[in-house]
Structure 1
């Protein structure tokens, strides 16, 4: 992954964390656990897919 792609991926992750934190009224850093859960086919997988579609 080149430097620009890496920076864009970091920005996208931060944006996703902020959206999830805002949606659930939680701490910004705690949102990472939700992202990790969703990406591992956890309970919130459906929510994560909806969030991805929303960005397209």
Structure 2
């Protein structure tokens, strides 16, 4: 597991998320721990390292 810090696309607060780097491609929705708005998370990992991370606002 890798702790990745990023800015919420809704409230602009810095939050962290644990990413399982053993999974090559992940796409899921998780709520911001600060403002509770949904964020689409896309993570790409290779050989146990986080290669790309996107946090996309899901408009309600």
* TM superposition score category, shorter chain reference: under 0.3
Higher strand fraction: Structure 1 or Structure 2? 2
Instruction: Provide TM-score, normalisation by structure 1.
Output: 0.23
Higher helix fraction: Structure 1 or Structure 2? 1
Structure of greater relative contact order (alpha carbons < 8 Å, 6+ residues apart):
2
